[in-house]
Amino acid sequence: MDPLTITASAIGITQFAISSIIQLHDFINDLAEAKEVARDIASNLEGVQRPLAALEELTISDPMTYATVKADLEKTGVIEAVNNCGQACANFTDNLKWWMKHSSGTKISLRD
């Protein structure tokens, strides 16, 4: 085996190791940023929750007006969108609980 072949082989191994280290570093860095992303998600959810809570408190005494408003909400897709949002949040919560079943609220388990 000539010296050039040995060097080329070593470079090939080094490239794989460097690539693997970079991927692991980026993955760990993304985990570290997850707390900030989770805060952003929570903030956005609060932004959606407030108007929905106000909508829930809306009182319409007149049965005719109530029927008209309900029909308009159904026609525009608001009712379906709100229901889909609720279902998506419930599914995501279930998935997160399953994915993070070995973790606590303050510490992420490496098993997860």
Domain boundaries, the chain: 1-58, 61-107
pLDDT band at 6 (very low <50, low <70, confident <90, very high): low
pTM for this structure? 0.59
Q: Given a cut of 70, is residue 48 above it in pLDDT? A: yes
pLDDT band at 75 (very low <50, low <70, confident <90, very high): very high
Q: What is the pLDDT of residues 20-32, one digit of tens each?
A: 778 877 776 776 7
> Nearest Cα to 60, choosing from 71, 74, 70?
70
Query: Residue 104 carries which DSSP code?
Result: -
